[in-house]
Amino acid sequence: GAGVSQSPSNKVTEKGKDVELRCDPISGHTALYWYRQRLGQGLEFLIYFQGNSAPDKSGLPSDRFSAERTGESVSTLTIQRTQQEDSAVYLCASSHSRGPAGELFFGEGSRLTVL
Which of 52, 63, 70, 100 lies at the binding interface for other proteins (CB under 8 A)?
100
3 or 16: whose CB is closer to other proteins? 3
Residue 17 in contact with residue 82, Cβ under 8 Å? yes
Mode of pairing for the β-strands spanning 88-95 and 31-37: antiparallel
Q: What is the dihedral of CA 114, 111, 25, 44, to 10 degrees?
A: -80
65 or 109: whose CB is closer to other proteins? 109
Q: By CB under 8 A, tell whether 1 contacts other proteins.
A: no
Which of 5, 20, 22, 108 lies at the binding interface for other proteins (CB under 8 A)?
108
Strand partners, 114: 13
State how far the Cα of 20 lies from the Cα of 61, in Å rounded to an integer: 16
Q: By CB under 8 A, tell whether 93 contacts other proteins.
A: yes
20 or 59: whose CB is closer to other proteins? 59
Mode of pairing for the β-strands spanning 43-50 and 10-13: unpaired
Reduced to 3 states (helix: H, G, I; strand: E, B; else coil), residue 67 is strand
Give, as ranges, the residues between 3 and 62 that touch other proteins (CB under 8 A).
4, 31, 33, 35, 41-43, 45, 48, 50, 56, 58-59
The binding site for other proteins (CB under 8 A) comprises 4, 31, 33, 35, 41-43, 45, 48, 50, 56, 58-59, 91, 93, 100-109
